[in-house]
A and B are shown apart, each in its own frame.
Chain A
């Protein structure tokens, strides 16, 4: 017998996650911004860091979203193989939770139903993008990472040749951040995926953004790669808001995945300084 979670329990949990993620900056992101405010030497850039910190305080005291772009609701779900959600199931419950949460917490509805011709807003911020991973056990872990359009638009993916090697990978990531300029609301967190297939590479780049800010990859070679890319990005001088400064990125997180003998895919997914996420286990 599978454990059964009531549909409405998932809806309410997801709705609350939407409200929480939009308003409360995670502690690790807040600490990274505080460090940035201390380290930044250029006065204009420092004033932006001060505004980010003040903004985070106002968001909580006024119960208002940190950023008006409350994003595409992107979920990473670990779905236990011995559990099921009753009624229409988990995906429908997550979408119903998004519908409820984006209305209840006065979040912006930013999704159009069709991308090229009509671009009519769905008016409830659905559908969500949901990445399911089956796992052993009878619980469901739901991570919500609302993703803003400004930073998402600056993403890049390149199918490199294996012979291109490390230096080309570093340059591709650094150039992607430099070319993005002020658009993704720097200081950014840089998610990098290396390996996998075309779509797997993009997915792990996004997942890399969920790691605690600045936590290094457990593989020392990849940790060194992260440190080198971060240093080079911060030497570009793009700075907070792209108006010049010492700190362009707060962290670089690299994730890798096995890949084909012919391939070296590299994906870059940027998160703005309002790096929002929230999670719940049911």
Chain B
């Protein structure tokens, strides 16, 4: 059975999902990959405010292609999540981030933070960037424009196909 999910991604919704659930996600999500994560965490550590309030939000690990004319975005599939393992725990514990979307497994430290604070890791289909782009209805750069594709983008998605890869109890499809 496919579950429909909307954002914001609240604690109750987090606890309702199990590893293996197939999801269609609708709502606003935020993009971020290596360079944006590094900057977000540097801001947090210096005590400065973040450009985006991540409470009950979902970050999608993606660096999209440029938008062709008449399109909100270019090809936009997930990147390897493991490179964000160094940064995700602090975003979960200090900012209230509840969801992450990417591809590939996560470290024990990330899973521990997910269990302790309540967060879910979703797998998107790596290498299906053209298909996923069709599910993204709007796209706007909201932070770090100097990073180009690695900037933080605000996306509105409709029926984005996902799988719960690791749930908030630590059950993982990668094990």
Contacts and interface: CB of A to CB of B under 8 A. Distances in A.
Contacts of B105: 181-183, 242
A65 B129 contact: yes
Contact of A106 (B22, B65, B131, B174): B65
Contacts of A64: 65, 68, 71, 74-75, 129-130, 133
A241 B64 CA distance: 19
Interface string A185-224: 1000000000000000000000000000000000000000
Given A68-B75, A182-B103, A183-B104, A242 B174 contact: yes
The main secondary structure of chain A at its interface with chain B is loop
Contacts of A241: 103, 123, 125-126, 163
A68 B63 contact: yes
A27 B18 CA distance: 38
A62 interface: yes
B150 to A, nearest CB: 8
Interface residues of A, number: 40
Contact of A55 (B66, B103, B127, B173): B127
Name the residue among B80, B126, B165 with the largest chain A CB count within 10 angstroms: B126
A82 interface: no
Interface string B72-83: 001111011010
A182 B106 CA distance: 10
A108 interface: yes
A183 B130 contact: no
A55 B80 CA distance: 19
A54 B132 CA distance: 11
A123 interface: yes
Name the residue among A52, A58, A69 with the largest chain B CB count within 10 angstroms: A69
B130 A150 contact: no
Contacts of A110: 63, 149
A151 to B, nearest CB: 9
Contacts of B131: 51, 54-55, 58
Given A58-B130, A182-B126, A65 B103 contact: no
Contact of A150 (B64, B126, B128, B150): B126
A243 B74 contact: no
B26 interface: no
A55 B173 CA distance: 23
Nearest to A186: B126
Contacts of B77: 67-69
A242 B104 contact: yes
A55 B68 CA distance: 17
A127 B148 CA distance: 18
Interface of B: 20, 22, 35, 62-68, 71, 74-77, 79-80, 82, 103-105, 123, 125-131, 133-134, 147-150, 161, 163, 165, 173-174
30 contacts: A44-B163, A55-B125, A55-B128, A55-B131, A58-B130, A59-B130, A64-B68, A64-B133, A66-B75, A66-B127, A69-B63, A106-B66, A106-B74, A107-B65, A107-B66, A109-B148, A109-B149, A121-B150, A123-B148, A150-B80, A181-B174, A182-B103, A182-B105, A183-B80, A241-B103, A242-B104, A243-B123, A243-B163, A243-B165, A272-B126
